[in-house]
Amino acid sequence: MSHRLLCFALRPVLSASIAFICLYFVAMCLHIALGILWESWWFWGCMIAGCIDEIIGYGGRTMLFYNPFSFPGFTTQIVCITTAPVFYCAAIYVTMAKLVENLDPSISRIKPRLYNWIFISCDIVSLVLQGVGGAMSTTNTGTSQVAVDLALAGLGFQVATLMIFCSLLVDYLVRYFQSSQSRAVSAVSGRLKTCLGFMGLAILLILARCAYRVDELSEGYLGALIHNEPLFIGPEGVLIICSVYALCIGHPGLIFNRTGAGKSSKGSLAEEVGVAGARK
C-alpha cells in the first residue's frame, strides 16, 4: 500500500465521533447561555470557537468512517481537533489576568495585563504552528517531516506555555493565601473555590492531552499511534471534553459577574464572593 493510502487508511469509531459531536454541541449551548447571562464575552468567544472547531473536526472523523481514504475528512480532523484546545487555553489565560487584577495585583510576579499580552501571544504562535503543520500534512498526504515538525513544535510550545502559566498561577495563589488579606477571612468563597478548582482541573487535562499528542506525532502521521482509535478516544477525546465541561462548571462568571431580576450586577471579586480586601 502506498504512503498515500497508509495516510488515509483510518476508520474512526462512528459512535464515538457522534457522541463527541453531541457533547460539544451541548457544551457550546451551555457556554453560549452562561456567556450571555454573565456577559463574559472573551471567555464566551474562546469557548464557542473551540467547541465549533471540535464539532467540525469530529465531523471529519465521521466522514472517515464512511470513507477511510477521504482527503477532506483527513484534512478536517487533523487541523481542527489539533488546534481546538488553543482556544480553551486563551479563555483560561484571560480569566487568570482578571483574577489577579481583582484579588491583589500587588503580589503578582507580573502585571495582570501582561498575562494577556504574553500568554495570548504564545497561544497565537502555538495555533499558527499547529495549524500550518496540519495543513501542510494534508497537502503532502502526511509524508512531510516538515509538517510533523511544525505540528510538534506547536504542541511543544503549548505545553511549555502551559507549564510556565501553571507556575505563575500556583505562585500567585500561594502568595495570596499566605497574605494578610486572605487571612482576614475565615474561609474562601465557595464560588471562588469552584472556579479555581475546575480551572486547575481543565489545565491538567489539557496538559495531559498535549503530552499524548506530542508522543503520538513523534511517529509522524503514518505512525501506529495516530491510527490507534482507543488511545485517541481516551487521551484526546475524553480529556478535552472533560476540560470543556470543567470550564463550564467553574465558569469565571461565578465570581466576576452575577445577574438578578433580569439586570446585570457587576462588581469586583471582593464584592461578588466576599473575599475581604481583594483590592488595596
Q: Domains of the chain (ranges plus CATH)?
A: 13-257 (1.20.1070)
| Contact predicate 43/97, CB 8 Å | no
Of the CA atoms within 13 Å of residue 205, those in its CB half-sphere come to 23
pLDDT value for 188: 58
* Percent of the chain with pLDDT strictly greater than 70: 82
pLDDT value for 2: 43
Q: Is 265 exposed, middle or buried (0-12, 13-18, 19+ CB in 10 A)?
A: exposed
Query: DSSP E strands: which ranges in the chain?
Result: 257-260, 263-266
The band of 71, judged by pLDDT with boundaries at 50, 70 and 90, is confident
Which residue in this structure is represented by grid cell 452575577?
A: 258
As a whole number of angstroms, the distance between CA 239 and CA 161 comes to 19
The band of 185, judged by pLDDT with boundaries at 50, 70 and 90, is very low
Q: Nearest 5°: phi and psi at 233?
A: -60, -40
* Average of per-residue pLDDT across 172-182: 78
Q: What angle do CA 200, 89, 166 make, to 5 degrees?
A: 45
Which residue in this structure is represented by grid cell 482507543?
A: 230
Q: Does position 1 have pLDDT exceeding 90, yes or no?
A: no
pLDDT value for 273: 43
